[in-house]
């Protein structure tokens, strides 16, 4: 009984402390509304919030692949008047010349008074949607492919390689998480995301628990690592680590529609076979299409995997195969954890592939 009472007292104290901190945050936050001019268009915003959230309330959705933590540098804007002083994170992400040119990160800039903001035209095409889950399929030990449908009359225009942001609203904050689109851009009214379950991950846990019919808010599309229609005729090297396969799946789907007019080489690294998803699909595609080549590799295969394929880190496998690939006009698209991407990029540069032909997209920040 004494043990239970102690636990209750501890929980009550924690709840009280959370309430006090929440109340203090509201009292200390600058109140009122401010004039927010966006690309010469007059708007209003509530003071005390981040510029990223203030812009979203005005239907200006910026990429924030890091979830607004200030570590991806994607939400860059120009603040020509007003705004809070540059934070340490902004000074790390933005070069001194960019800061001198009034560049700021919207997720780090607070609205504390009247502001004038300039947003690049390329960032104004994203929209906000309430998407409905159609299906959720377990494709690996910790990965699910979730297919969402947009509201009636809404279409999604995106390039293979782009991502959507999941908006997860909590009482005390608006959480953003970026997930690459894994479906074909030809599917205008629906899209799929490959979501890896992260231990303790707030949004990934919610997505894995969703049931068909459940809805969630999304914004996008965003992202610069894209495959344009003009690049379909170039030899392509696609290198993925784990769930970094998602945007490359979208590229392969787009290329299928054109008939693979040039060679495509897909390298996919995973820890064990239970983490190597869509393996059979790509093996079948490689057998049926002479221009598509599939190179899976496992870094830590288990005995029960019965794995007879390449073993090792994917950059090591790539280093062995790279000399046999066509060099003329080759374009490389790399997605996965940052260390993996850095290792792959070094292999490609050492193999004399120009850096302007290497496109990367890390999914961890």
Query: Which domain CATH number covers 215?
Result: 2.40.30.10
Measured CA to CA in angstroms, residue 203 lies from 116, 217, 247, 279 at distances of 33, 12, 19, 26
Do 282 and 352 belong together in one domain? yes
pLDDT in tens, 162-177: 999 999 988 878 889 9
Rounded to whole angstroms, the Cα distance separating 236 from 330 reads 6
In a domain, 207, yes or no: yes
Tell me phi and psi for residue 103, to 5 degrees.
-75, 140
Residue 280 lies in a domain: yes
Residues 62, 114, single domain; the answer is yes
* pTM attached to this predicted model: 0.85
CB atoms within 10 A of CB 211: 7
Q: What is the DSSP letter of 226?
A: -
Tokens of 295: 């190179």
Which tokens sit at 58?
Answer: 């005005």
State whether 235 and 317 are in the same domain: yes
- pLDDT score, position 124: 86
Residue 296 CA to residue 30 CA, distance in Å, equals 54
21 located within any domain: no
pLDDT value at residue 24: 45
With contact defined as beta carbons under 8 Å apart, do 330 and 353 qualify?
Answer: yes
With a cut of 80, say whether residue 147 has pLDDT above it.
yes
Element (H, E) at 267: strand 264-270
Give DSSP secondary structure letters for 158-213.
--TT-EEEEEEE-SS-EEEEEEEB-S-TT-SSEEEEEEEPPTT-HHHHHHHH--TT
Among candidate residues 123, 145, 171, the one where a domain is terminated? 123
Task: Quote the domain boundaries for residue 208.
Answer: 127-222
Within 8 A by CB and 6+ apart from 232, the residues are 254, 255, 258, 261, 262
- 301 contacts 270 by C-beta, under 8 angstroms: no
119 and 131 co-located in one domain = no
Give me the CATH number covering residue 330: 3.40.50.80
Could you tell me if 114 and 136 lie in one domain? no
Q: pLDDT digits over 1-53, tens only?
A: 555 455 445 555 545 554 544 444 444 445 689 999 999 999 999 998 999 99
Higher local confidence (pLDDT), 10 or 310: 310
Taking phi first (over 0 means left), then psi (-120 to 50 degrees means alpha), and beta for anything else, what does residue 200 get?
left
Task: Read off the pLDDT of residues 201-238 as tens digits, 9 standing for 90 and up.
Answer: 999 999 999 999 999 999 999 999 999 999 999 999 99
With 0-12 CB in 10 A as exposed, 13-18 as middle and 19+ as buried, what is 100? Answer: exposed
The count of domains in the chain is: 3
Query: Does residue 272 lie in a domain region?
Result: yes
Q: Is residue 56 in some structural domain?
A: yes
Instruction: Give the pLDDT of residue 22.
Output: 46
Residue 309 exposed, middle or buried by CB count within 10 Å (0-12, 13-18, 19+) = middle
Do 357 and 234 have their domain in common? Answer: yes
Cα 86 versus chain centre, distance: 25
d(CA 70, CA 66): 7
Q: 74 and 109: one domain?
A: yes
Does residue 160 register a pLDDT over 50? yes
- Sheet containing 41-46: give its strands across: 41-46, 33-38, 115-118, 76-81, 103-105
Same domain, 240 and 355: yes
Judgement on whether residues 253 and 349 belong to the same structural domain of the protein? yes
Structure confidence at residue 1 (pLDDT): 52
Residue 295: inside a domain, yes or no? yes
**How far apart are the C-alpha atoms of 160 and 164, rounded to whole Å?**
12
Residue 4 lies in a domain: no
Instruction: Tell which phi-psi region holds residue 119, choosing left (phi > 0), alpha (psi between -120 and 50) or beta.
Output: beta
Residue 13 in domain: no
Q: Are residues 40 and 112 in the same domain?
A: yes
Query: Which structure tokens are listed for 335?
Result: 């997605």
- What span, in angstroms and rounded, lies between the C-alpha atoms of 125 and 104? 20
Beta bridge partners of 128: 219
Residue 89 shares a structural domain with residue 152: no
How far apart CA 251 and CA 163 sit, in angstroms, is 12
Q: Is 277 helix (H, G, I), strand (E, B) or coil?
A: coil
Same domain, 254 and 323: yes
């Amino acid at each position: 009984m004494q043990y239970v009472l102690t636990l209750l007292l501890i929980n009550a104290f924690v709840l009280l402390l959370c309430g006090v901190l929440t109340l203090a945050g509201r009292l200390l936050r600058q109140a009122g509304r401010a004039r927010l001019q966006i690309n010469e268009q007059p708007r209003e915003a509530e003071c005390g919030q981040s510029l990223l959230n203030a812009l979203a309330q005005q239907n200006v959705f910026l990429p924030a692949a890091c979830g607004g933590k200030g570590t991806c540098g994607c939400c860059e804007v120009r603040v020509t008047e007003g705004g809070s002083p540059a934070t340490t994170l902004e000074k790390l992400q933005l070069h001194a010349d960019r800061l001198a040119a009034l560049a700021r990160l919207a997720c780090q800039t607070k609205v504390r008074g009247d502001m004038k903001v300039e947003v690049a035209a390329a960032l104004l095409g994203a929209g906000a949607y309430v998407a409905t889950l159609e299906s959720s399929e377990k494709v690996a030990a910790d990965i699910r492919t979730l297919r969402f449908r947009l509201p009636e009359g809404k279409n999604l225009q995106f390039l293979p390689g782009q991502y959507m942001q999941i908006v997860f609203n909590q009482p005390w904050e608006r959480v953003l998480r970026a997930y690459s689109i894994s479906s074909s851009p030809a599917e205008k009214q629906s899209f799929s995301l490959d979501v890896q379950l992260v231990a303790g991950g707030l949004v990934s846990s919610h997505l894995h628990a969703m049931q068909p019919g459940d809805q969630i808010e999304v914004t996008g599309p965003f992202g610069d690592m894209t495959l344009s229609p003009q690049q379909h005729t170039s030899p392509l090297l696609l290198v993925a680590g784990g769930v970094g396969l998602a945007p490359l799946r979208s590229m392969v789907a787009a290329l299928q529609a054109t008939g693979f007019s040039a060679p495509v080489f897909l390298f996919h690294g995973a820890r064990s076979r239970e983490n190597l998803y869509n393996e059979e699909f790509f093996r079948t595609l490689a057998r049926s299409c002479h221009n598509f080549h599939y190179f899976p590799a496992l870094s830590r295969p288990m005995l029960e995997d019965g794995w007879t394929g390449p073993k090792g880190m994917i950059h090591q496998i790539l280093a062995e195969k790279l000399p046999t690939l066509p060099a003329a006009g080759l374009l490389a698209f790399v997605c996965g954890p940052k260390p993996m991407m850095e290792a792959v990029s070094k292999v490609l540069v050492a193999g004399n592939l120009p850096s302007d032909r290497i496109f990367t997209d890390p999914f961890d920040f």
